[in-house]
Structure 1
Amino acid sequence: MLIKTVRFSIFVLLAASITACSKPYQQPEIDSTGYKGILSTLNETEEKRIRVLMTHGMCSAGKDKKWAMEQATLLSDQFGGGKLVARGQKDFGSDNDNSVVQRFDFTLFGTGKTIDLTFLAWGKTIDKHRKNLDFDSKRRRDDPNAPIRASLNHHIRAGLMNDCLIDAIVYTGPNGDKIRASMQEAVCDVLGGTTTGRPVSKRVGERTGCQLASRAYDPAPLSFISVSLGSKILFDAMLALDDRQGGDALSTRLRSVRAIYMVSNQLPMLGQAHIDPSRSNKTASTGDTLSQFLDLLGSDRSARAKPQRIDVVAFSDPNDILGYRLDKKRMLTKRNSVEYVITNVLVSKGWTYFGAFENPIVAHEGQKNGEPIYPLIVHGLR
């Protein structure tokens, strides 16, 4: 009788544990009529190739060639495979003989069409600042002189504060000048331009001369994938480019943008830092960074048969304490020749336990295999 009771009790506990775990947004929830995945762009375009530009987010892991190769492989798998070829790398800026920003290029050869994948890694220079926090990163069990700290609090502090949030702190201050300067050079290079003048660290508001008009416009559709802080860094760099040839060369180069996919979106929080690179009068805006960038995309004055559609998709896990949805009411865009379809996608990246807790590190960073975000970016909602 006792054995049966114990078995029944174990069964009840297991059942309770299973029912206590949930993923409220295992089926993603959106607040619009829908958005297009990159694969739709590939299938719909008349061009023989499309382009994808990706920037990583906060946290120390994944700031090098290995990260770029892993993401290229994961995306290639979502596209259905093919022959993935590495096309080389470029380095921008210097910090103690190390590159501040690195560009990695790959091409995926499929059936009849190709996908050019470009990755910009910008975070290695922050590692030296992480080391400055090592003095207070121990627990009592590891160091008798360390303070008594609850294990969960220690894990979150080490994973989110010392390893991740420090990226945003460094970038928004003077120590982020080299990142800003190098990212501007890298973005100019991606757009087919060359920087002018001596490359120096850029303070907030300073601009980089970018020679664009001497090379032809690339009509291949372009999609951006930016992760957490990477969205802010990418858009700041775009806004800070100064086309020394004048005219609409910069906005014309961006005419090929079809979609912006922002993962673990942080722009509402990061926008409070008031980093507002100076803008020319023709694209001036008092809105947030994303609104300013969308204004830039819509400032191309060339004749169009109909407004160009651009999907702006923000992915966030509601349990990500660093992530936010986009507030459409606050996005003051001029639109002009562009039709923006703004979509918030709520998705659970990890398990919620007893309706009270989800690992905030998993909620922000997601799974290492790209699930569940990469399928949503490539295929859209299926």
Structure 2
Amino acid sequence: MAGDLSSYYSATNVSLAVGAALAATVPLVLVDVRGSRKFREPGLSLVWLVNYLSFAYLVGGALGWVTGFGPTAGFWFALGACLAWHVALRVGRWQAAAETRAPVPDSVDDAADRLVQAILEYAKYLHKQYKDRALLALRANTTRTLHLLGAHDQRAELGRLCLHAAQRAEDVETEASILLDDLGWAYHESGHDDLAREHITEAIELVEQRIAASQTDGTTGLQLLLIRGYRHLAAIAPSHDLDGALRNLIRAESQLIDLAEDLSTAEKHGLNAVYGHVVAVHYGLTRGETAVFPEGTAEAVQVAEAMNRVEPAITYYEHSGDIERAAKTAAIFARLARHRVSKRLREAAIARLDRLDRLVVRDLRRWTGEGDVSASRPMR
């Protein structure tokens, strides 16, 4: 056994093993202590293997001599122990990394909640730092997303932060837009119609004052804000106040005259869709009931006019690629169709709505991997 050990631990072999171990230690120290990026897999694994071979050689002979199994058996045992330790170390590191890594959302809804919270946290930070332009840019890029996600309370919170920023920047158009959408429409979606009307009315007055102060008819942006403001007021009018809703639509239509043709056409269809919505609400056609109005009555004439206005809007939105608005407008048309005696017409309206809803769901799934849609609201 002693002869085997002396031949095993020859001066040449020991020198090579010690030299290899020392040489292999240098890159390991650089990686672990200094964080050097010069060494990557599989090179780093090769360095570890050289270290393990050197250690197994130096320890294995003595281990084999102590146990009586011989130097060769001792070498293989020591090498196996080193490799087992290395595997255990790697598994432990992987587990630790997995625990500290950001958790993967369980669902699209969970991911949406995280996105909404991240937007609000960043908005609060920008507001606290008085970074008004950055905050308004964040709002411009995310307010529509919050609306589509149904995060109406959070959208209103973002609006309150941005309103101060817009006022400090003396940006009247952005201030009015926030009052209309981030506060006005978001409050309506949250069920606070009185607050919604208050903010929308404030926005309209702000825009009208700016137009009066400039002694002009206003810029296109200001005109579009007025149209949207009156359209919002009409859409959220109480069901008993049909006349008030129609007056607001007439005020909105008066702003179409000076708009470019493409803008005028788009806004006209939006107003027609809201006209259909307020008529349906007034006559109780939004509650899922079928109300039959005798031909020639005022009710039948008004509902028929609403249907004649709404149907071209559906086609316009389909052709322009705005499937979401097309689906919402088709939902309004389907509600109006409930008053008709013709079962065929009602079924055709419902079939059209179902087809558009499926297109909206398809588009949402392309974006998020999962989707749902409700076409129950008028367009914002």
TM-score by length of 1: 0.25
Larger Rg: 2
